[in-house]
Amino acid sequence: MPDAPGLELIRQEIERDLPGSVGATSYEHGCAAMIVDPEQILAVLGWLKEAPGQRYSFLASLHVADYLPAEPRFGVHYELLNFDRRERLRVKAMLADPGEDGLPEIDSVTAMFPTADAQERESYDFFGVVFRGHPNLTRILLPDDYVGWPQRRDFPIGGEPVTFTYNEHNRG
Amino acid sequence: MEIEKRDPLLAKQVTARDMLRGDLDGEDLERYVEERVVTTTFEKMLNLARANSIFPLTFGLACCAIEAPISIVTARYDLARFGAEALRASPRQADLIILSGRVSIKMAPVVRRLYDQMLEPKWAISMGACSSSGGMFANYAVVQGADKFMPIDMHIPGCPPRPEAVMYGFSKLQRKIMGSPDQGWRARYNAAGTEEWARGGPRSEPSAEAAAAYEEARELALA
């Protein structure tokens, strides 16, 4: 893990090469995280992967979280790992919800990290985040004809109410 | 009577030979027949054979699969005692499908197709809370009860049911097969005569003769 000063150093170096790309940093529970501009996600991840002294060359996980009611609502998380120093870095790109107009969009990183292929499909499957440039962005776990994005917080949880004797008695 | 005193292991052979020789006649022969011959109807005999030679499908959906198709055929529980130890890997050879676990909405059409591929007579056991009612998975991804899309002959409660419970349910199913094999409610699920034909792809139509022969065999089987 880069510690808090190390995270600030990384931020300064990125800002020198890619001005305006990093919005904020946080260091909580021993975990370094950067919130970056979603439009520059490819440049930032490419820089972290290639820049000498960084070499965060392994994408350990890609996932999406729904921060409703916060705005911007969706966070695309990239967990990067440097094998040599065993350092992890979390990169977040926050996406606003376009509402009825469409789906939030971000560039796909499959060209840089082939492992992102299935994980981006899963994120699209459950959250409806569109990854621009993905080779085959279709549903991966749910049926192809499924309607809706079930892991969003405003999605109905589904199922059927079960009438237990206990509930019946309480309802009168 | 002299026959009764003989070695019981040899009794059957010896008495049959004695009968051929005509040693028994009159009262003795009457009593012999009454004691050793059971008469029944053909249907009852057929159902008895069916109930005691079930071929379950090798098929598991979730954690219940550890209990049902796996544990109950091991030496400890040994479903072979009830004549169902031969698990079949193809639905076309099986006549019992045990839904062992939650059925997701993506898996439901696959399960239904497996059921449709099984040939008559066939039965289905819904095992555990999940496949019977959705169980704890009251959510967007799991079918709330497998009897929403296919006919279920027996529900076994539990989460998961112990192998003993599965065997109890299985013996209940055997009793059902021997008593009333078809209760006529399968048609409600459009599950009668929906078997797919292997020849020429899954949706090809059989020839008229094959269909007629099949219908005849099926009517006999369900009569």
Task: Report yes or no: B135 at the A interface, CB cutoff 8 Å.
Answer: no
What pLDDT score does B223 carry?
A: 47
User: In Å, how far from its chain's centre is CA A82?
Assistant: 19
Query: Measured between CB atoms, which of A150, A155, A160 is closest to B144?
Result: A160
pLDDT-derived band at B22, boundaries 50, 70, 90: low
Domain boundaries, chain B: 2-37, 49-216
| Beta carbons of B139 and A157 less than 8 Å apart | yes
**Residue type for B179, please?**
G
Tokens of B9: 């292991």
Q: Which of A145, A160, A163 to mutate to test the interface with B (most CBs of B within 10 A)?
A: A160
Q: Which of B185, B195, B188 is nearest to B218 (CA)?
A: B195
DSSP symbols for A145-168: T--S-TTSTTS---------HHHH
Mean pLDDT of B61-87: 88
d(C-alpha A107, C-alpha A109), whole Å: 6
Task: Report yes or no: B133 at the A interface, CB cutoff 8 Å.
Answer: yes
Average per-residue pLDDT in chain B?
79
The CATH code of the domain that includes A79 is 3.30.460.80
Determine how β-strand A74-82 pairs with β-strand A130-132.
unpaired
Query: Measured between CB atoms, which of A143, A146, A160 is closest to B138?
Result: A160
The DSSP code for A40 is: G
CA dihedral B46, B50, B51, B52 (to 10 degrees): 110
d(C-alpha A63, C-alpha A124), whole Å: 10
E strands within B51-143?
Answer: 96-100, 123-127
pLDDT-derived band at B209, boundaries 50, 70, 90: low
Q: For residue range B98-150, what is the model confidence (pLDDT) as tens digits?
A: 999 998 888 888 888 888 888 878 899 999 999 998 888 888 888 888 888 88
Q: Which of A52, A38, A41, A42 is nearest to A10 (CA)?
A: A52
Task: Report yes or no: B106 at the A interface, CB cutoff 8 Å.
Answer: yes
Global pTM reads 0.74
Residues in A touching B144 (Cβ below 8 Å): 159-160
Q: Is the pLDDT of residue B217 over 60?
A: no
Distances from the Cα of B219 to the Cα of B40, B182, B187, B213, angstroms = 21, 11, 14, 10
* Stretches in chain A below the pLDDT threshold 70: 1, 162-164, 167-172
- The number of domains in chain A is 1
Q: Are B128 and B159 in contact (CB under 8 A)?
A: yes
Tokens of A7: 């995270």
The DSSP code for B183 is: -
State the residue range of the domain holding A37.
Answer: 4-171
d(C-alpha B13, C-alpha B35), whole Å: 16
Q: How far is A147 from chain B (nearest CA, A)?
A: 11
Own/partner contacts of A22-31, CB < 8 Å, gap of 24 or more, are A23/A94, A27/A3, A30/A1, A31/A1, A31/A88, A31/A90
Q: What is the CATH number of domain B49-216?
A: 3.40.50.12280
Determine how β-strand A74-82 pairs with β-strand A87-95.
antiparallel
Residues in A touching B141 (Cβ below 8 Å): 142, 150, 158
d(C-alpha B109, C-alpha B125), whole Å: 17
